[in-house]
Amino acid sequence: MRRNIVAANWKMNGSRELVESLVGGVKAGVAKLDKDVEVVIIPPSLYLADVEKAVSGSALQLGVQNVARWESGAYTGEVSAQMASDVGCAYALVGHSERRQLFAEDDVQVAEKVRLILASGLVAIICVGETLEEREAGQAEQVVARQIRAALADVSGEGWKKIVIAYEPVWAIGTGKTATAVDAQNMHANMRGLLSELGAPAQEISLLYGGSVKPDNAAELFAQADIDGGLIGGASLVSDDFVRICGAV
Ligand code: PEP
């Protein structure tokens, strides 16, 4: 059985005050849910220690938003996968569209990061998704398949247990537009088919949907056969909304 996962990507938002109020609310709310769901909080790296303290005693997991392409050394400003693991992270996001678009992260870099994330014992949440132009040109499946093939090029054996893929159509991130549940399911089913082709244990790999997931659309998305949870941006900054999304799994 694959895990249901709901992950909160805070992006570059937050403060110590927010950590306290938001994580406190999420911790209390998730504890009351009668759901089999792994909840992951992914704050800016500077607040990882604060969030780790705030989640202690709960089942909430910690994740990092990005890691360096290198193990260690003279890379000012970077944070390694090993460091993320050292401070208590269990998950690492990689290939988020904001990293791909604003920081020119390409498929090769994503694959390098996936390798380092797995080597550090973390679970990689690999983000993939097409732009609006690519969708309108009928290339959505092709783009997502290319991104997945590249990211997983070096994954095999036990490594598959540390892979989660989040389908996030770029046009749906932070825009209030969501893929229809049917379109999202079709893409997830294609992705699972591709994973099988690549020799992965496809039925055991959690596939998440991301892109303007809110309390009122989460249940329909999560009810789809191949959608195993969500990667949540904006709505993860409001504890009641995020808890309702976790409860929709
Ligand atoms: C994200 O940042 O991964 C995301 C899905 O953002 P939002 O939920 O705000 O669209």
| Residue 230 to residues 72, 97, 207, Cα–Cα distance (Å) | 31, 15, 8
Query: By the 8 A CB rule, do 163 and 155 touch?
Result: yes
| Rounded distance from Cα 233 to ligand 1 centre (Å) | 3
Q: Which residue, by CA, sits nearest to atom 2 of ligand 1? A: 233
Read off the pLDDT band of 230 (50, 70, 90). very high
- What residues form DSSP beta bridges with 38? 5
Name all residues whose Cβ lies below 6 A of ligand 1.
Answer: 9, 11, 168, 173-174, 210-213, 231-235
Active site residues: 96, 168
| Ligand 1 nearest atom to the CA of residue 168, by list position | 5
| Rounded distance from Cα 189 to ligand 1 centre (Å) | 21
ipTM higher than the 0.90 cut: yes
What's the pLDDT tens digit per position in 117-173?
999 999 999 999 999 999 999 999 999 999 999 999 999 999 999 999 999 999 999
Cα torsion 155, 160, 164, 170: sign: positive
Instruction: Please name which of 233, 77, 69 lies closest in space to residue 166, comparing C-alpha atoms.
Output: 233
Beta-strand pair 207-210/163-167: parallel
What's the pTM? 0.97
Express as a percent the part of the chain with pLDDT over 90: 98
pLDDT of residue 223: 98
Retrieve residue 108's tokens: 């090769």
| Ligand 1 nearest atom to the CA of residue 213, by list position | 8
Q: Please name each of the domains of the chain with its CATH number.
A: 5-247 (3.20.20.70)
pLDDT of residue 233: 97
Read off the pLDDT band of 21 (50, 70, 90). very high
Query: By the 8 A CB rule, do 114 and 154 touch?
Result: yes
Number of Cβ atoms within 10 Å of the Cβ of 166:
25
Taking the alpha carbons at both ends of the chain, their separation in whole angstroms is 15
Read off the pLDDT band of 1 (50, 70, 90). confident
| Rounded distance from Cα 9 to ligand 1 centre (Å) | 7
Q: Which residue, by CA, sits nearest to atom 7 of ligand 1? A: 233
pLDDT at 43 > cutoff 90: yes
- What residues form DSSP beta bridges with 208? 166
| Rounded distance from Cα 8 to ligand 1 centre (Å) | 9
What's the pLDDT tens digit per position in 174-222?
999 988 999 999 999 999 999 999 999 999 999 999 999 999 999 999 9
What's the pLDDT tens digit per position in 99-118?
999 999 999 999 999 999 99
pLDDT of residue 154: 95
pLDDT at 55 > cutoff 90: yes
Whether 10 has a binding-site annotation, put simply, is yes
Q: What angle do CA 37, 40, 46 make, to 5 degrees?
A: 170
Q: What is the average pLDDT across 92-100? A: 98
| Ligand 1 nearest atom to the CA of residue 98, by list position | 2
Q: Which residue, by CA, sits nearest to atom 6 of ligand 1? A: 233
Residue 17's SS3 state is helix
- What residues form DSSP beta bridges with 127? 166
Express as a percent the part of the chain with pLDDT over 70: 100
**Pairwise CA distance, residues 76 & 171, whole Å:** 32
